[in-house]
Amino acid sequence: MTLLAASSSPALPLSVVAVLAALAALSGYALLCAVSPFARCKPCEGNGKTRKRGTSPKRGWKTCRRCKGNGLRLRIGRRLFHTTRATGEATRRLHKAGTR
């Protein structure tokens, strides 16, 4: 009952607010993906090099395997965008070829 009362007291129901917030976050992330497709590489924290386990901080650096040394990775959102678009185009091409 209290939950109901609490949710009905603001101008918008809580669920709507939640959906709106999610949408805002999603669009913000989408914008980020569009403007800056690359983010810092996680394993090397953008350094491009990782430390060998159990070695001294001065010597044991090696090139990050994930980012191959440039310290950047494609954002997941951007990658998703690319793959969906690629598959979409592929199916369109296939369809076009099929109707020919």
Partner 1 sequence: MNHEELSPADDPSETDRPGESDEGAAVLPFRVRFRKNSAAAPVGEDGSVYVDPDEIELPDDEGTDDEDEGPREGELVDPPPSKDVLTPAEKRAAKSAARKPVLPEWARSTDEFKAVATWAAGHYCMVSAYHAVRAPLYVGKVAVYAPRGAWRWSNGVRRWVFDSEGAPFRAAAARDEDIEEYLKLTRVRNARVRLRLIVATIAATVLIVAGTLLAVALSSFLWWSTVVAVLMLLGQVGMPADQRLIDPARVRFRHRKLSADIVTRAFVAAGLTRPDQGLTFPRPITQEGNGWRVVLDLPFGKTFTHALKAQEQIASGLDAAMTQVFLDRDPSSARRVSMWVAKEDPLAVPVGKSPLITTDRVDFWKPFPWGRDERGNEVMVTMLWLSLLIGAVPRQGKTFSARTIALAAALDPHVRLYVFDGKASPDWRKFDKVAHRIGFGIAPYNGIDPVKVLIAALRELKADVESRYQRLSELPVSVCPEGKLTPELSRNKSLNMPLTLVVVDEVQEYLQHPEHGGEILDLLVYLARVAPAVGVSLETSTQKPDDKACPSVLRDQHQARFSLRVGSWQVSDVVLGAGSYSEGLDASRLLKSHKGVGLLKGMSDDSGIVRTYLVTGEDADRVLTRARALREQEGTLSGSAAGEVQPAGEASDLLADVAAVMPATAAKLWSETVVDRLAELRPEIYGPWAEMEQKAKATQLATALKPYGIETGQVWLKTEDGSNPNRRGVKREEVLAAMAARKRSAS
Give the one residue of 67, 82, 84, 91 binding Zn ion; rule: CB under 5 A: 67
What is the three-class DSSP state of 50?
Answer: strand
Cβ at position 31, least distance to Zn ion in Å? 24
Alpha-carbon gap, residue 100 to 62, rounded angstroms: 53
Size, binding site for Zn ion by CB under 5 A: 5
**Could you tell me the end-to-end alpha-carbon distance of the chain, in angstroms, rounded to an integer?**
62
Round to whole Å and give the CA distance between 92 and 65.
36
Stretch that binds Zn ion, among 4-12, 13-21, 60-68, 88-96 (CB under 5 A): 60-68
What H or E segment, with its residue span, contains residue 18?
A: helix 14-35
At 88, phi and psi to the nearest 5? -60, -45
Pick from 29, 61, 63, 66 the residue near Zn ion by CB under 5 A. Answer: 66
Q: Which is nearer to partner 1, 55 or 91 (CB)?
A: 91
37 binds, among Zn ion, partner 1, none (CB under 5 to 8 A by kind): partner 1
Residues forming the site for partner 1 (CB under 8 A) = 37-38, 67, 70, 72, 74, 78, 82
